[in-house]
Amino acid sequence: MKVSQILHSGVPTLSFEVFPPKTSDSIDKVRSATEEIAELHPSFMSVTYGAGGGTGHYTLEIAENLIRKKNVPLLAHLTCVDSTREGILSRLGEFRAAGVENIMALRGDIPKEPRLPRENWAYAHANELMREVRDYGGFCIGGACYPETHPESLSRRDDIAYLKEKVDCGCEFLTTQMFFDNNILFNFMYHLREAGVNVPVLAGIMPVTNAVQIRRIMQISGTQLPQRFKALLDRFGSDPEAMMQAGIAYATDQIIDLYANGVEHVHVYTMNKPVVARKLTENLSAILGK
C-alpha cells in the first residue's frame, strides 16, 4: 500500500522506523525484532539505509521479509550520496521486485571516506534523487525535513525553500528529524505552510531509553534538549530500567500533545526495540482507536 494513501485516509497514524544490521552476524536478531514490531500493526514501517549503499542489501532483505511475512505497508529508505545512477536504478529495481511501494529519498550524510571519486557522484541533493525515483515511476516518495534546520543550512528560509523544491520533484510527504520540544515543531509547521509546503508532515519521535546514545546523537544532529528532558537524563541516565520507563513516558506525553494539537502523523524511531514500540502502542491505544 502507498504511504500517501494511508496519510490521506483521515485517521491519525502511528508508524515505526527500524534499521538493518551492519553485518550478517545480527541479521536474524534484527529480522525477529522487526517482525515483533510489525505484529503491533503500525500504520506502516520504514527501514533505514546506510549512506553510500554499502549495506543497502540488508535494507532490502529486512524490507522484503516484513512485506512477505507480515504484509505491513513498507517504506524503504534510499540515499544517493556517493552513488552512481546505475547503482540507484539497480536498487530501485530490487525494491520493486521485493514489493516495496514507497521510497524515502535522501541524500545521506557526506562520507569522510567516499567509495567513489566525487566527480562520479550522480546526485548532489535529495531532490535530484526524488526526480529520478519519480521518473522511474510507481513509487510513493517521502523526504526528510528538519524543524531545527539542517546542520549544513545557512538559514531556515533556505532550508524550507529546498523543501519546496523537493515537493516540486515528487516528494509526497515529509518526516521530521527527532525533536524533544513540541513548540519547535509547531513553529516549523507554521513556516512550512507559510512557504506553501502543504504535503503531510510526520513528526519524528525518539523514545530515549539510553542516555549515552542520545548524547552522541545530539552532538551529530544539533537537536535541542529542553530542561525537563535534561533532568530525566541526569536523574535516570545511569539506571537503564528507570531510563527506559522515563523515556517511554516522555515520548508518550509528547505524542499525545501532538495529536491533541492537530498533528495527525507520528513516526517513531524504535531503535529496533519491540518493547518500546509495544509500550507506546498500548499507551496510545484508545487515542488511536485500537
Instruction: Give contact residues for ligand FAD (rule: CB under 6 A).
Output: 48-49, 51, 77, 79, 106-109, 125-127, 144, 150, 152-153, 158-159, 162, 165, 175, 177, 204
17 included as an active-site residue? yes
Which is closer to ligand FAD, CB of 162 or CB of 236? Answer: 162
Measured between alpha carbons, how far is residue 44 from residues 1, 188, 191, 239, 270 in Å? Answer: 9, 24, 27, 32, 13
Q: In the complex, what is the shortest distance from the CB of residue 17 to ligand FAD, in angstroms, rounded to a whole number?
A: 7
Of the pair 126, 214, the CB lying nearest ligand FAD is at 126
Instruction: Find the shortest distance in angstroms from Cβ 191 to ligand FAD.
Output: 14
Nearer to ligand FAD, 98 or 249 (CB): 98
- CA 165 centroid distance within chain: 20
* Other beta carbons within 10 Å of 95: 23
**In the complex with ligand FAD, which residue's Cβ is closer, 170 or 237?**
170
Minimal distance, residue 105 CB to ligand FAD, in Å:
7
What ranges make up the beta strands (E) of 180-284?
A: 201-205, 265-269
Other residues' Cβ atoms within 10 Å of the Cβ of residue 130: 27
**What letter would DSSP give residue 115?**
S
CA distance 239 to 233: 10
Least separation, in Å, of the C-beta of 206 and ligand FAD?
A: 11
Query: Quick one: residue 239, left, alpha or beta (phi over 0 = left, psi -120 to 50 = alpha)?
Result: beta
3-state SS class at 229: helix
Q: Which positions are catalytic?
A: 17
